[in-house]
Amino acid sequence: MTAANPQLSVIIPVFNETGNIRPLIEEIEAALLPRLRLEIVIVDDGSTDDSGAEIGELTRAHKSLRVIIHGRNRGQSAAIRTGVKAAFAPVIAVLDGDGQNDPADIPALFAALNIQSNVCMVVGERQRRLDRWIRLASSRIANLVRSKLLGDGIRDTGCGLKVFYRDKFLELPPFDHMHRFLPALVQHRGGVIQSLPVNHRPRVHGESKYGINNRLWVGIVDMLGVLWLKRRQI
């Protein structure tokens, strides 16, 4: 059973992450349960491997854990939104299901939120990234183009680790791949974004779901859409 009135909901979008989920849940609880009333929401985004079985076992052992299942793969942005809508806490932490984000960084991001100074989203900036060169190259190009066009001032908007207020997120216009542009979208609504350095770890199990085609080129097309939205929205 999830803690009554949780202070923080940790949302984990998962697609084919067998072997990565169990250690991630254990690390999240170790980092946060001594400090906060916590719930963890896994959104299984249509996994076709053994992720579902692994998650099922975890729900029986971890009382802080809830699971939502998409019948088909709908993408990371849809999975995040599903989790945020289902969350009970006023503050959300989202991180990738591959274990490359370090849960030990969440308390610092949580502490940096400050409604009085209008900081309503804190994003991680990965230090010494441990990815394959093709992923690093596509990410750097996309970040450079995004920074020039959107001017959000964030060097690593692709970092999966973010902490924000639930109500502010739900005010944003939903669309596929929106998770890549959350800082710019929040800023457009008058919110202040803070960036903090975070740890980055190698993937232990499975393969990355992103490459040139679905990260760089798609990201640039989506960026033009966000630019249009910023200029047209009233």
Is the pLDDT confidence value at 51 over 90? yes
Place of tokens 């991001």: 109
pLDDT digit string, tens, across residues 133-158: 556 555 666 666 666 666 676 777 78
DSSP readout, 166-189?
Answer: HHHHHTSPP-TTGGGGHHHHHHHT
| 151 phi and psi angles, rounded to 5 deg | 60, 40
Mean pLDDT of the chain: 85
Domains of the chain: 8-232 (3.90.550.10)
Backbone angles phi, psi at 197, to 5 degrees: -65, 140
CB 3 within 8 A of CB 33: no
pLDDT on residue 179: 87
Model pLDDT, residue 234: 45
pLDDT digits (tens, 9 = 90+) for 78-137: 999 999 999 999 999 999 999 999 999 999 999 999 876 789 999 999 887 665 655 655
- In sequence order, the β-bridge partners of residue 40 are 10, 65
pTM strictly above 0.85:
no
**Residues in contact with 223: Cβ distance below 8 Å, sequence separation at least 6, in sequence order:** 142, 145, 146, 149, 150, 181
Give the pLDDT confidence score for residue 4 in this predicted structure.
77
Across 31-35, 129-133, 159-163, least confident range? 129-133
pLDDT at 114: 80
Half-sphere exposure (Cβ direction) of 158: Cα atoms closer than 13 Å: 26
Least confident of 135-139, 157-161, 184-188, 203-207: 135-139
What number is the average pLDDT over the span 71-83?
A: 96
